[in-house]
Amino acid sequence: MMTSMFGGDKSDHPAYVLVGKATYELLEGPDWGVNVDLCDLVNSDFHRFGKDAVKALKLKMLKTPMKPAVQLLALTALEMCMKNCGAQFHAMVVAKEVLGEMSKLALTARCDTEVRRKTLQLLEEWAAQLRIPQYAEVYNGLRNKGVEFPGADLATAAPMHTPQQTVPRAAALGGLDTID
Return d(Cα 14, Cα 114) in angstroms, integer.
29
pLDDT tens-digit readout, 87-146: 999 999 999 999 999 999 999 988 999 999 999 999 999 999 998 999 999 999 999 999
With a cut of 50, say whether residue 83 has pLDDT above it.
yes
CA nearest to 87, candidates 50, 57, 142? 50
Query: Alpha-carbon distance 166 to 42, whole Å?
Result: 12
Phi and psi at 139, nearest 5°, equal: -60, -50
pTM above 0.85, yes or no: no
* Higher pLDDT, residue 4 or 75: 75
What's the mean per-residue pLDDT of the chain?
85
**Section 17-41 average pLDDT:** 97
Cα–Cα distance, 164 to 27 (Å, whole number): 28
Q: Is pLDDT above 70 for 159?
A: no
Q: Determine the pLDDT at residue 119.
A: 96
Cα–Cα distance, 95 to 54 (Å, whole number): 10
- pLDDT above 70 for 156: no
- Show the DSSP H helices in 63-131 as ranges: 68-84, 86-95, 98-107, 113-129
- Is residue 49 within 8 A of residue 41, CB to CB? The reply is yes
Q: How large a percentage of the chain has pLDDT more than 70? A: 77
Q: Report the C-alpha gap between 85 and 106 in whole angstroms.
A: 24
